[in-house]
Amino acid sequence: MHNETLYHTFLELLKDQFTPEDEKNIIALVQKHHAADLAPVLDQLEMQQAARVLKYMEMPFQAEVFGYLEPSTQSNLVDELGVAHITRLIDVMDADDRVDFYNNLDEEHQQAILPGLAQAEREDIRKLSSYGEGTVGAIMTSDYAALAQNLRAGEALERLRQEAPDKETIYNAYVVDEHRQLMGVVSLKDLILAQPGTLVTDLMNSDVVSINAAEHQSEAARKIAKYDLLALPVINGNDKLAGIVTHDDAMDVAEAEATEDIHRMGGVSPSAPGLGSVNMLEASTWMMVQKRLPWLLVLVFMNIFSGAGIAHFEDTIEAVVALVFFLPLLIDSGGNAGSQSATLMIRALATGRAHLRDWFTLLSKEIGVAILLGVGMALAVSLIGVFRAGPEVAVVVAMTMVCTVLFGSLVGTALPFVLSRLKLDPATASAPLVTSIADIGGVLIYFSIATWVLRDIIAAAGAA
């Protein structure tokens, strides 16, 4: 059922004249839909209505749906459901969802909820919430399966059978020593196929791909994608197993990182509050202004240089007014070529398919590509130049097209590498920034070529 249809169905069932039949229909409705499909609908309902629907779900499924809700909805439901109900809900939530929810609450709600939790849950929340935002530790879960190295396959399977209900995943179990240092990983498949008396250490893979809890979360997503892992073990500073990052959390990280890069490339400020975490429908007008205004102001002042360049060549423009006709065409072509190059380079750097050491190779290749693109575009625009203003202007326009496309492409290629070298996000080489730089260069290139090629015409116009 489509979200909009499901939303209106809930509204109809939650009417004032509520009947036992409506109650049965709501229960049947929540039972036949996935948690990820129900959560967006609950986000749209009024908090009182959303709380009523949640209470018709079994507690484990209710916790699953709750984990998919928007942070703002989760916070509002604390008062609606009550601290006692929220405490029971937290108790059955996945460890990572539990910490995310807790961190999104204000201090008053945190202090109200924490005393009602079991000591194990309190310690787990304190440990996981101590990691800085954006680190691997902030997204890992402590619900992982660990096995002692002296166990045999039969004993390990029995241990996993007992622990499975409380673990995020048991497809891979991590072998640790008495100090919880990571020794290896063993798959559930290998345990099942092995003879019961086989030692776990004989089955495990000791060459384990892991990550430090202090590293950036995007590195965890990259490793999970690169090595095709279901989960990535996380170690702390003492090389002890601290938790795991699952592939679904890695997907969330990848989506968030991609959203941030897209915002940066569009010239949207990453320093504005709520970036990437607030639905566009929920974002306030002031928040959207904060997101977009800083870069727009920077670009406004950058474009002043374009105007200054045009003013510097007033004599050339007065002598050959037809040059103005081709100005937007040439400037946009350079900016467009630069945006294409920047997009390709930023994506290559983000996915690890290009590195700083590849700068010269990629720049050399881009020069060849840009020249060919510029020549092709120059041939097309020169025909318009001959028809519109004569062969002299056509030569100027064709030469400028090649130069501006080359300049824009080089800016778009080089800027992400320069920013990476300066330890800045390459995505800051946004399309508006590259376009503005290409515009300034394009104006200077165009009128410089025109002044040189048409110097006789300009001199004659000045003498007259």
Determine the pLDDT at residue 280.
Answer: 62
Domains present along the chain, CATH in parentheses: 3-130 (1.25.60.10), 146-252 (3.10.580.10), 285-463 (1.10.357.20)
Determine the pLDDT at residue 108.
Answer: 87
| 19 exposure class (CB count in 10 Å sphere: 0-12, 13-18, 19+) | exposed
Determine the pLDDT at residue 276.
Answer: 46
CA distance 345 to 204: 40
Say if residues 291 and 298 touch (Cβ distance below 8 Å): no
Q: Are strands 182-187 and 211-212 parallel, antiparallel or unpaired?
A: unpaired
Question: What are the pLDDT digits (tens) for 276-304?
Answer: 445 566 667 777 777 777 777 877 888 78
33, HSE (Cβ side, Cα atoms, 13 Å) = 25
Question: What are the pLDDT digits (tens) for 120-140?
Answer: 888 888 888 888 888 999 889
Determine the pLDDT at residue 282.
Answer: 62
On whether the pTM is more than 0.85, the answer is no
Determine the pLDDT at residue 198.
Answer: 94
Task: Of 194, 199, 162, 197, give the one whose Cα is nearest residue 184.
Answer: 199
Task: Of 249, 64, 44, give the one whose Cα is nearest residue 138.
Answer: 249
CA distance 175 to 205: 9
Determine the pLDDT at residue 155.
Answer: 93
Q: What is the mean pLDDT of each run of 10 residues along the chain (464 residues)?
A: 78 78 86 90 90 90 90 89 89 84 86 85 84 88 90 93 84 91 93 93 93 91 90 88 90 79 64 49 72 76 84 87 90 90 84 82 92 93 86 92 94 88 72 85 92 84 66
